[in-house]
Each structure stands twice: as structure tokens, then as C-alpha cells.
Amino acid sequence: MNNTNDVNNPLWDGESLDSLAKLASARFEWHWEDTAIAGEMRRLAVASDPEGMLIDACERQDAGEEGVIDPFWATTWRAASGLDHYLNNLVLQDLQVLELGCGTGHAGLAAACRGAHVVFTDGVTDPLILVKMSIWQLRNQCQVRQLRFGIDQLDGQQFPLILGSDITYLRNLWPELNRCLHDHLCAGGQILLSDPYRIIANEFREWIQNHGWVYQEHKIDMQDDPTHPIRVMQLTKN
Ligand SMILES: C[S@@+](CC[C@H](N)C(=O)[O-])C[C@H]1O[C@@H](n2cnc3c(N)ncnc32)[C@H](O)[C@@H]1O
């Protein structure tokens, strides 16, 4: 069976880099970008005009179109790089890892490069096409699925490590995100959420501690801009 158009296909049946590239090109402009991931330069498939896509989405929303989703996935955020740095402290070989709101998948790819088995997820399917291309060499240890916070669940699957880079930026997503975290973390597991010290994430830090989590925080100094470190929030079950 040819599942070329099914981004939720975890088995990669009938897909090739070429068919994925064609699928992505039919949706938006994209290119390969050399990116430092897990300490080496690797190729990440990224959207070519994230700003233009955001403006387009805003214009369509302003024109009254319903169901238009902000394409925040189209940028690879610095928080992903900070989380990548933090992962260097962990032993990830053969660990089952879930990435939520993966966007272009930098954080999950950083885990996969360190030997983890990673399920990459996002609420929208466009970025998942790019993720499938970026992880092509590691596809035997990776799955790619659509997962909308609070709506979808991965068939009773639970993980010892859940990653999320820059996914705490909207207050109205927190209850659904919290439910998703409780649903998918296994006993004794941990969650790592990174952000660039956003003010809204300070508020999230207080909120999440009242929802069944033990909170610890780590500061990651970044070489690209030492004045703007990245925060990694570590959550474990009460
Ligand atoms: C700021 S972007 C971060 C992307 C990526 N993690 C990174 O750091 O580059 C937020 C991501 O969360 C995803 N997202 C937003 N709302 C979501 C929801 N309700 N369920 C799942 N993913 C969602 C977006 O599609 C986007 O990919």
C-alpha cells in the first residue's frame, strides 16, 4: 500500500525522500539548512519563509477565515537548541522519547542522534512532512504522528522522557498540555520543557506546580547569544 500522503504513517511504507520532498513542495517552500544538532552539523528540512507564512495566516484570519492555524512550527526556535545542549547530560541510548509540538523536530532529532527511539508529534501535519525528511537516516528508531494536546492520545503509550521546546507560550493551551503530559508520562519519568525565559512561561512555571508536578529549573548558556540563555523546566510526578 502506498501511504505517501499519510503523515501519520509510522511505518514509512511506500515513502521515499523524494516523495516527501514533493509532498512538502506542494504545501510550501522549504530547503535544507545546516544546523548544529547533538554536537554535529546536520541537515534539517525547514520552511523557507516562516515570516511570510505567518503574515499570510494573519491576513486570512483578519479576512474572517475560520480554522486558520498560526504556523509557529515554521521557525526553528532557539529553545530547541538549548534543550539539545541539556540532553548532553542524559543517557539516551535506547530510551523511548516523546516530543510534543516538535515543529521542525530539532529537539527530538537531538535525542535520536544520541540513540533514543523518538516519537515526533505536532498538532498540525505540515511540519511532520519536514520532520520525516530530517530524520530519514534514523527512521528505524523514529515515528512521526499528529498529536493535538488534550485531543489525541497515543494508544496507551507512555514514555520515560517527554520533550517540548517552546510549547508553553499560550495560556489557553496549558490545561490540554497538562492533560497530555499526565497521559503520556510513565511512572518515574521526566518532562523537559525549554523556553527563552518568556514572561508567560514564568506564569506557566507557577501554574504547572499546582497541577501535580515537582518542578526544577536549569539555565543553559548559549554561545550564539550569551545574554539570552535558555531555560529548561524539568517536571516529575508528585
Ligand atoms: C513555538 S513552536 C515550537 C516548535 C519547535 N518545538 C521548536 O522549538 O522549534 C510551537 C509548536 O507547538 C505546536 N502546537 C501548538 N498548539 C498545539 C496543540 N494544541 N497541540 C499540539 N501541538 C501544538 C505548533 O504547531 C508548533 O510546532
The pLDDT assigned to 9 comes to 53
Query: At CB < 8 A and 24+ separation, what contacts does 146-150 make?
Result: 146/7, 146/8, 146/121, 146/122, 147/100, 147/121, 147/122, 147/123, 147/180, 148/123, 148/176, 149/100, 149/101, 149/123, 149/173, 149/176, 149/177, 149/179, 149/180, 150/175, 150/176, 150/177, 150/179, 150/180
The pLDDT assigned to 10 comes to 47
Q: Which atom of ligand 1 is nearest to the CA of 173?
A: 19
CA 1 – ligand 1 centroid, Å: 30
| Cα–Cα nearest to 32, from 43, 22, 20 | 43
CA 125 – ligand 1 centroid, Å: 11
Residue nearest to atom 5 of ligand 1 (CA): 103
**Helical segments of 114-152, H only:** 126-134
Q: Domains plus CATH for the chain? A: 17-237 (3.40.50.150)
Is any ligand 1 atom within 6 A of the Cβ of residue 71?
no
The pLDDT assigned to 76 comes to 82
CA 127 – ligand 1 centroid, Å: 10
| pTM, entire model | 0.94
Give the helix/strand (H/E) hosting 57. Answer: helix 50-62
Low pLDDT (below 70) residues in the chain: 1-13
Q: Summarize pLDDT for 112-153 with one digit per residue, the tens.
A: 999 999 999 999 999 999 999 999 999 999 999 999 998 999
SS3 of 107, please? helix
CA 122 – ligand 1 centroid, Å: 6
Is any ligand 1 atom within 6 A of the Cβ of residue 213?
no
